[in-house]
């Protein structure tokens, strides 16, 4: 793990220079079938951020049926999660919320999300702080947002522990469900299992790219049948990053959660089925609460569901369809959908070019977790090279199997899952001896793992 030296001093200096960060305002511009949100965050008169989020026209939208109050409560909350991406540049000690009032309970909820969601950011930048001191949230408005009722279809809910039986019962076939698509194996498994159940589903994609669109297409959806969300990053933030202001990971999945409520409202579809698995609950830095996947965790999911029901609406049903499963089970399911093997992508480094970079921990993890279930020759075909023969990935390999202090700061499975996958691979393909597999066999704890 390579730390950014001197960043704690920078953190203290920036907090002195930029003491207040303000969520100044937001706007909603809509037509019958389109909607655009713009947010205004102000640090001082020279430093302002105006990120946007837009949803292009689709024939099945019911935007015109939504009231201003309904749209405002959803847009305001999207702004609340967007602000943390901009706040982290200066880490201003005081955050002022101007559009609407927040109760103490809400402020405490948001502080927890920001702090836990920035756990990796604080750790990597070597910033020593705590949930009480890192930020104070104040509100200046007397206007309290009232909970809203939305006319959403699909009152049934898919639940259970077995995706081929109780989860897909005949009486669960009326639930209209949005499925966010990330282009990786997890959302593919959710799509396919829900398709088997005859549930009416709509893929949702934020900033569509090759893998996300290709996966949706293979699932049978044309471009105009997909809910697309276009999220822009304010150029000023990128300028600050280039100038050396603080930067790092923010809870993207929490942003996805609040945006998914908006897509639920404009489609009238009640259920939102995420693809977060049980593995997301494990800490990235062992022995701490620092978790790259905090906003994919069950803790966040439960907190989010409670918050929505308390302060936004009783009508939304946000949950993770894959929560009962670990990465191994999901990989086994995915192996049974070969039509996706050439188009899925989980690599963040190669996402813009729609490739596997084959040099990062995310690529290596995907290779490991799928290898017990897909023939070695097919794995090489999928990734264009044998990652088990890349000894240059030894450090990432050690992170994944638990030798290093931290797991990779990526969305990867648990240490136990990785070790189990490697042992299953060795057992299934006993004559398979690439470099990293041979190295793994030399480790002192290999015999106990196998």
CB 21 within 8 A of CB 89: no
The torsion angle over the Cα atoms of residues 11, 12, 13 and 14, rounded to 10 degrees, is: 50
Considering only residues 127 and 156, tell me which one the structure prediction assigns the higher pLDDT.
127
Taking alpha carbons only, the member of 76, 74, 98, 77 closest to residue 21 is 98
| Inside any domain, residue 417 | yes
**What is the C-alpha to C-alpha distance for residues 179 and 226, in angstroms, rounded to an integer?**
10
Taking alpha carbons only, the member of 383, 373, 377 closest to residue 342 is 383
Q: What is the pLDDT of residues 200-245, one digit of tens each?
A: 999 999 999 999 999 999 999 999 999 999 999 999 999 999 999 9
Q: 212-215 long-range CB contacts below 8 Å, 24 or more apart?
A: 212/181, 212/182, 212/183, 214/183, 214/343, 215/181, 215/183, 215/187, 215/188, 215/191, 215/340, 215/343, 215/344
Q: What share of the chain is helix, strand, coil (3-state, %, to 5)?
A: 45, 15, 40
Give the DSSP H/E element, type plus range, for residue 55: strand 52-55
> How many folded domains does the chain comprise?
1
Q: What is the pLDDT of residues 269-319, one digit of tens each?
A: 999 999 999 999 999 998 899 999 999 999 999 999 999 999 999 999 999
Q: Is the pLDDT of residue 87 over 70?
A: yes
Mean pLDDT of the chain: 92
**How many other C-beta atoms are found inside a 10 Å radius of the C-beta of residue 307?**
18
| Inside any domain, residue 445 | yes
**What is the C-alpha to C-alpha distance for residues 450 and 447, in angstroms, rounded to an integer?**
5
| Inside any domain, residue 89 | no
Task: Name the CA radius of gyration of the chain, rounded.
Answer: 22
Q: What is the pLDDT of residues 395-409, one digit of tens each?
A: 999 999 999 999 999
Instruction: Identify the domain containing residue 413 by its residue range.
Output: 355-449
CA distances from 235 to 33, 86, 312 (A): 27, 11, 31
Residue 319 sits at φ, ψ, to 5 deg, of -160, 165
**What is the C-alpha to C-alpha distance for residues 102 and 107, in angstroms, rounded to an integer?**
6
| Inside any domain, residue 363 | yes
Prediction pTM value: 0.92
Q: Give strand pairing partners of 41.
A: 23, 49
Q: Is the pLDDT of residue 339 over 90?
A: yes
Q: Give strand pairing partners of 229.
A: 206
Exposed e or buried b per residue across 253-287, where buried means at least 16 C-beta atoms within 10 angstroms of its C-beta: bbbbbbbbbbbbbbbbbbbbbbbbbbbbbbbbbee
| Inside any domain, residue 7 | no
CB 125 within 8 A of CB 248: yes
CB 111 within 8 A of CB 137: yes
pLDDT at 4: 47
User: Locate tokens 């949950």: which residue?
Assistant: 319
Q: Is the pLDDT of residue 105 over 80?
A: yes
Confidence of residue 431 (pLDDT cuts 50, 70, 90): confident
**What is the C-alpha to C-alpha distance for residues 324 and 278, in angstroms, rounded to an integer?**
6
Would you state the structure tokens that stand for residue 31, as one six-digit string? 């037509």
| Inside any domain, residue 426 | yes
pLDDT at 2: 40
**What is the C-alpha to C-alpha distance for residues 178 and 191, in angstroms, rounded to an integer?**
10
| Inside any domain, residue 119 | no
Q: Is the pLDDT of residue 6 over 90?
A: no
pLDDT at 58: 94
Q: What is the pLDDT of residues 374-391, one digit of tens each?
A: 999 999 999 999 999 999
**How many other C-beta atoms are found inside a 10 Å radius of the C-beta of residue 29?**
11
CB 90 within 8 A of CB 14: yes
| Inside any domain, residue 64 | no
CA distances from 189 to 63, 131, 340 (A): 30, 36, 10
Give the DSSP H/E element, type plus range, for residue 188: helix 185-196
Q: Is the pLDDT of residue 449 over 60?
A: no
pLDDT at 31: 83
Would you state the structure tokens that stand for residue 187, as one six-digit string? 């959302």
């Amino acid at each position: 793990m390579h730390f950014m030296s001197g960043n704690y001093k920078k953190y203290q200096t920036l907090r002195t220079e930029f003491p207040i960060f303000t969520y100044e305002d937001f706007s909603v511009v809509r037509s019958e079938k389109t909607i655009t949100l713009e947010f205004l965050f102000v640090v001082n008169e020279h430093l302002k951020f105006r990120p946007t989020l837009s949803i292009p026209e689709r024939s099945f939208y019911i935007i015109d049926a939504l009231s201003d109050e309904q749209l405002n409560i959803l847009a305001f909350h999207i702004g609340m999660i967007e602000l943390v991406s901009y706040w982290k540049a200066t880490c201003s000690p005081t955050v002022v919320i101007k559009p609407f009032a927040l109760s103490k309970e809400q402020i405490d909820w948001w502080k927890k999300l920001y702090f836990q969601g920035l756990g990796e950011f604080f750790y990597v930048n070597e910033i020593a702080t705590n949930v009480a001191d890192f930020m104070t949230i104040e509100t200046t408005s007397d206007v309290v947002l009232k909970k809203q009722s939305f006319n959403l279809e699909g009152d049934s809910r898919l639940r259970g522990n077995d995706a081929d039986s109780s989860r897909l019962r005949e009486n669960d076939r009326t639930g209209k469900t949005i499925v966010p698509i990330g282009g990786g194996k997890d959302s593919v498994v959710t799509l396919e299992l829900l398709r088997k159940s005859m549930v009416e589903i709509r893929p949702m994609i934020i900033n569509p790219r090759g893998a996300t669109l290709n996966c949706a297409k293979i699932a049978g959806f044309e471009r105009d049948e997909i809910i697309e969300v276009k999220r822009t990053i304010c150029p000023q933030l990128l300028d600050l990053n280039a100038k050396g202001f603080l930067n790092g990971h923010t809870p993207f999945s929490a942003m996805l959660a609040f945006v998914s409520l908006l897509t639920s409202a404009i489609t009238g579809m009640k259920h939102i089925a995420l693809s977060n698995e049980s593995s997301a609950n494990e800490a990235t830095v062992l022995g701490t609460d620092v978790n790259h996947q905090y906003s994919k965790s069950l803790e966040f999911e439960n907190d989010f569901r409670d918050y929505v029901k308390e302060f936004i609406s009783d009508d939304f049903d946000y949950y993770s369809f894959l929560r009962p499963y670990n990465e191994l089970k999901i990989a086994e399911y995915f192996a049974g959908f070969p039509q996706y093997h050439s188009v899925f992508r989980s690599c963040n480094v190669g996402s813009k070019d729609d490739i596997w970079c084959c040099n990062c921990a995310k690529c290596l993890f995907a290779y490991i977790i799928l290898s017990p279930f897909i023939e070695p020759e097919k794995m090489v075909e999928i990734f264009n090279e044998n990652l088990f023969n890349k000894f240059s990935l030894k450090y990432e390999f050690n992170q994944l199997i638990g030798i290093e202090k931290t797991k990779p700061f990526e969305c990867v499975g648990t240490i136990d899952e990785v070790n189990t996958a490697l042992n299953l691979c060795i057992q299934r393909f006993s004559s398979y001896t690439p470099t990293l597999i041979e190295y793994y066999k030399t480790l002192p704890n290999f015999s106990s793992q196998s």
